[in-house]
Amino acid sequence: MNDLTLPRTGETAAAPIATAPRRRRSLAYLQAAPLALVFLVFLVVPLLLTAVVSFWEYNEYAITPALTLQNYADLFDGCLSADLCTTVRTYLSTLKFVALTLAITLPLGFSIAYFLAFHIRSDTVRMGLFLLCTIPFWTSNVIRMISWIPLLGRNGLVNDTLRSLGLIKAPIEGLLYSDFAVVLAFVHLDTVFMIVPIFNSLARIDRSLIEAARDCGASGFQTLWNVVLPLAKPGIAIGSIFVVTLVMGDFVTVGVMGGQQIASVGKVIQVQMAYLQFPAAAANAVVLLAAVLLMILGLTRMIDLRREL
Amino acid sequence: MDRPRGFAFYGLAGIFCLYVLFLYGPTLTILALSFQGPSGGLTFPMNGVSTHWFAKLWEGVGVVDIWAALRRSLMLGLVVMILTVALAFYAGLAFRKGFWGAGLVFALAVSSLIVPSIVVSLGIGLEFRLLDDAVKALADATGWGLLQDHGTFMGLYSSALGAHLTWTLPFGLLIMFAVFNRFSPAYEEAARDLGATGAQTLRHVVVPILAPALVGVALFGFTLSFDELARTSQAIGGRNTLPLELQGLTTTVTTPEIYALGTTTTAFSALVIGTALGLTVWLQKRRARRALAGLRP
């Protein structure tokens, strides 16, 4: 009895071992398929369709398949003349917001991440403060924008305080619904995207490197500039990519904080969609995507994203 | 590192405090102003304290059915949450084993984050419109009664759901990567050595160990979806989600009612975040307790 069954159990035990790698491999395909399918249907196909439709023709009533460059020609119409065309002006305006937002969020995000990573000694406190910075990220952006109205408005808290202090006589116009308000809101909403990746990079830095720099006689600033900053580069690049993408494609912040008066690339696309000018909107989207990808390409050269996780 | 705290510490601590004030100040302002008296306006001073504007909000905001929008956002958020946890978890397992095309799927997930939301939204909107046009053309060509009164495929649980997933899944996947990088395969090997099947290992070993992280992914999934605006904007049918209604209201509502609405949604988000964080802490405590109990003879 035993003699008969033993080899058999040996066989059944051996069989799974032999087939395990192959079965696990095919299981991996099954496990990754739903996610891949979502990206295929809701990212790849839509982007391809956008590219295709950008070459179509349209009138007030319908869009028709064609192969025309008219939409792109319309987009850049008059761009070679001395006074720039609308498209270039819109991009310049959006790029200005990108530059200003980066110029503020980068040092701010780095300082906060540095403070959390190097100056806080208890892990629990660090985690608590880190959560404090990230929790607003989980609440509504629109509400966080509306929150500025009672502060920045004509009779808002800022104007009232300045007036009662006697610093100004008439309220400052243009605190709200202006470039200033837009940049303020971008900093308010997007600094967290800088803090998290930079913190992640800083947290990995081996503390003995900093001790070594100090032992070799480096000043605090020299350590920061020659040791910490180069090692924080991946985080800075990832954070910058987030900020660039968020600001370049934005239409909500510019709309709400700019009082619907300031142009942005995203807003142009939104308006064209509302007027059912799909091919024109698609052409705009293709140009926007190309612009964003070019900017990101520069940033990604610095890092290997996969290694950062 | 344990040297006395110098000038740098206090300087940075100052920046940090100012940043937190900047972060929370405006929200606290509208929290206060939402309890504005009935005759009060959009700015300070407070004309008394009342829940007048919450009562008005309860009756509805103009023509917009804000509560229906809230329900829609809630339901969609829950569906997105479940799908995000499930898809990201299984994809995380797959990436761990490795498969042909893993690099490509990872690149897709990253590009889903990087492509501006308005472009994704426009693409999904176009995709569904073209699909509708195709169905209508087919209906005209064949005369099949089944297709004649086709409206649109666009809707909360089709195009909007897809749009939300392109935003939540990359976050979910990145979290799963970070989690699995710190997860020792020894646990699974031990389970396998003790004769557990793959499914049993998953159910009794992997999921319990990763539970706090999965709660985190769920939190990301729900809140990102609940507050999503840019990707939904062009990819939704006739009935809007709450953030879309809110965006419309910013230009039309000029009473503290909008602050009451803001306070309500923020309180809701805070409740969800609080519950999730509490759950994580509880799960970790329970695990620690069980581990201790297991150590006792």
Residues of B in contact with A115 (CB under 8 A): 12-13, 15-16
pLDDT in tens, B25-80: 888 888 888 888 777 777 777 777 788 788 877 877 666 778 888 889 999 999 99
**Strands in B126-231 per DSSP E:** none
How many CB pairs (< 8 A) connect A and B? 266
Residue A103 reports pLDDT greater than 90: yes
Residue B118 to chain A, least CA–CA distance (Å): 6
pLDDT in tens, B84-142: 999 999 999 999 888 888 999 999 999 998 899 999 999 999 999 899 888 888 888 88
pLDDT: is B255 or A44 the higher one? A44
pLDDT in tens, A114-154: 999 988 888 888 888 888 888 888 778 888 888 888 888 77
Most B CBs within 10 Å: which of A43, A294, A296, A307, as the mutation test of the B interface?
A43
Look up the pTM and report it.
Answer: 0.86
CA B138 and chain centroid, separation: 37
Residue A71 to chain B, least CA–CA distance (Å): 16
pLDDT: is B293 or A180 the higher one? A180
Q: Chain B within 8 Å of A231 (Cβ-Cβ)?
A: no
What is residue B115's DSSP assignment?
A: S
In 3D space, the residue among A289, A196, A194 whose CA is nearest the CA of residue A243 turns out to be A194
Mean pLDDT of A282-306: 83
pLDDT: is A218 or B297 the higher one? A218
Mean pLDDT of A216-220: 86
Please state, in angstroms and rounded to a whole number, the distance separating the CA atoms of residues B201 and B187: 9
Kindly identify which residue of chain B lies nearest to residue A38, measuring between CA atoms.
B162
Asked whether the bond before B208 is cis by omega within 30 degrees of 0, the reply is no
Kindly identify which residue of chain A lies nearest to residue B31, measuring between CA atoms.
A147
Burial class (CB in 10 A: 0-12, 13-18, 19+), A231: middle
What is residue A168's DSSP assignment?
A: -
In 3D space, the residue among B95, B243, B100, B111 whose CA is nearest the CA of residue B170 turns out to be B111
Q: Who among A41, A220, A289 is closest to B162 (CB)?
A: A41
Kindly identify which residue of chain B lies nearest to residue A290, measuring between CA atoms.
B115
Contact between B269 and A131 using a beta-carbon 8 Å cutoff: no
pLDDT in tens, B182-221: 888 898 899 989 988 888 888 888 998 888 889 889 988 9
Most A CBs within 10 Å: which of B250, B273, B280, B285, as the mutation test of the A interface?
B250
Contact between A119 and B13 using a beta-carbon 8 Å cutoff: yes
Q: Which residues 28-57 on chain B approach chain A with CB closer than 8 angstroms?
A: 29-30, 33, 42-44
CA A121 and chain centroid, separation: 30
